[in-house]
Amino acid sequence: MNIPIVQEILSANDEIARENRAVFAQHQLFVVNMMASPGAGKTSLILATIKHLPPDIAPGVIEGDLASSIDADTIAAHNVPVVQINTGGNCHLDAPQIKAALPYLPLDQIKLLFIENVGNLICPAGFDLGANLSLVIASVPEGHDKPYKYPGIFAQADVVVLNKADMIDVFAFDVEYFQRGIAMVNPTVPLFLVSCRTGQGIADWTSWLQHTTQCRTT
């Protein structure tokens, strides 16, 4: 069992993450690492959030996927600076990949950077990217048991968004059970119920994000 090699890999990633964090601070850039299952609505939440941002908070996006540029193309169609990272099979983004993507973004022009991680509720939690905020997105169709099945990613979240809240009744989603699961591993984490389709909760979520952005960058 070669544990030292694993430790060396994580240590090297953390060193690059510190470098990324220094670059973000230099450009006064607030960075959100978005983690979720495939189909939870990461791209939809980015676009819904951007619509509610004031003009002085210019956004940018790094898109992580196994393959294709479908989500990046969707973002670019809204005139938002975006860079695509295709991992070629890896189930998460890492700090060196983020570092390599940064020269392709206008860092002096954007204030809020969304990193859309690869759709996965396990691997992304273990790799620091240098972000200011870890956002975990769950969605109603996935079921209310996700915090119990994947406690690790919810434990390290700075904020949780439950997307597709307009379908709670359709899927008999137990919000209280979901909240209890999160509270078991992360008792004080904020939780927002939103629907990118109807706009439910988006204003509250965006307002919280703006406030947090100002607090962390001043």
Residue 28 has pLDDT above 60, yes or no: yes
Give me the mean pLDDT over the 48-72 stretch. Answer: 92
Q: What residues contact 6, with CB distance under 8 A and at least 6 apart?
A: none
* Per-residue model confidence (pLDDT) at position 6: 52
The model's pLDDT over 185-196, given as tens digits with 9 standing for 90+, comes to 999 999 999 999
Note the CATH number of domain 3-217: 3.40.50.300
* Per-residue model confidence (pLDDT) at position 66: 82
Give me the mean pLDDT over the 3-16 stretch. Answer: 70
The model's pLDDT over 94-121, given as tens digits with 9 standing for 90+, comes to 999 999 999 999 999 999 999 999 999 9
Give me the mean pLDDT over the 47-62 stretch. Answer: 95
Residue found under tokens 């544990």: 3
Residue found under tokens 């695509």: 84
pTM across the whole model = 0.92
* Per-residue model confidence (pLDDT) at position 87: 84
pLDDT band at 1 (very low <50, low <70, confident <90, very high): very low
**How far is CA 149 from its chain centroid?**
19
Q: How far apart are CA 57 and CA 46, in angstroms?
A: 13
